[in-house]
Copies of this chain bind each other. A is one copy, B any other.
């Protein structure tokens, strides 16, 4: 990099004759909306703050520093296009409906072919592929005859055929501010100041309307005929799941995360087999978006509570450490449903009132709500479950609820 001498610390709007394509969020068509350009190899084309790949943009910068990646590398996107068509849907051209992802992110090759021909470096922010997934819990469900193979959705060996997508965050700042009940100016200022000064452009470049934040992506897994998702005559089962590495990957028994996730997959399989579609939305919001360090600190504070780890003081422990109970902002979560053209979920595999309220506020109808079966709740996870029920979690007659929250106790640290 020795030939580059001049460091520009903060960008300025380009001269009129060198302007990159404008983004008109929520415009009626892709060409009117304009492409999102976040690549760093031709800075004068950029029309966003930040770079692609969310938090992995940092690794890209490391690779350039280490001399292993050419900074002007342009991806060869041959054969990478989606394995199935998704959209466009009317929801895409309503500026208030989708604010945290780019609905055209998977189809940039088609939607912005003209810009691509003119040399703009437009990259997908969404990738759609096919997979077969093989889960021990689905094999157990087959053995217990809760699900049966049909040779299409669920194969004899227990494999499940899915379409899946990875979706990077693309934040339309005015829309995010509106969804969170604040002003764009305050949002920009907070995002700048309370990240320790990340991206001065947030406050200096109000002409840049879109931000690619360095956070994790969303993954979706779709079961059965994908077109059933947007066909209201057919059933949709869905679980919205927020990452919990300790349970999802390692099977920790302090919460219900993986059991509820695999129960959701079972429901998705059954609904797909009956002619509908299933959907798992997986959001990288570890520990209620507080991160895993905070989560483990809270575990210790709970387990060392002189009154024992108990449902009555469950939320309080989180708030002492983190300042809030939850930072997940479910208000932004329904975007993924609008992207998939979904207006109704018939079987919502979630007891969360926050998720339910966010969906309904976005005009997505919810039919039945499916609690986790009682026998899937690990003993030590009853503290969390009972605390959440008392705080507004959905329950029905299949769900046991204690009268006295302080009676639901978890394991103490000495008992591990």
Contact = CB atoms under 8 A, between A and B. Distances in A.
A19 interface: no
Given A194-B40, A300-B129, A324 B63 contact: yes
Contact of A304 (B79, B136, B250): B79
Contact of A196 (B40, B124, B204, B413): B40
Contacts of A199: 196-199
Interface string A1-22: 1001001011100000000000
B63 A327 contact: yes
Nearest to A123: B293
B128 A203 contact: no
A77 interface: yes
A368 interface: no
Interface string A198-221: 111101100000001111110101
A62 B131 contact: no
Contacts of A282: 245, 249
A296 interface: yes
Contact of A9 (B76, B203, B299, B321): B203
Contact of A140 (B131, B135, B136, B295): B136
A164 interface: yes
A252 B133 contact: yes
Nearest to A304: B79
Interface stretch (A184-192, A340-348, A356-364): A184-192
19 contacts: A4-B189, A7-B192, A9-B10, A9-B204, A53-B291, A55-B216, A59-B328, A62-B180, A66-B182, A69-B327, A78-B320, A80-B297, A83-B413, A129-B299, A135-B251, A159-B253, A164-B250, A165-B296, A217-B292
Given A80-B297, A199-B199, 8 more contacts: A50-B195, A58-B214, A62-B187, A65-B177, A82-B300, A83-B416, A219-B245, A219-B292
Interface of A: 1, 4, 7, 9-11, 38, 40, 46, 48-71, 73, 75-83, 124-137, 140, 159, 161, 164-168, 177, 180-182, 186-187, 189-201, 203-204, 212-217, 219, 221, 245-246, 248-254, 261, 282, 285-287, 289-301, 303-305, 320-324, 327-329, 378, 380, 411, 413, 416
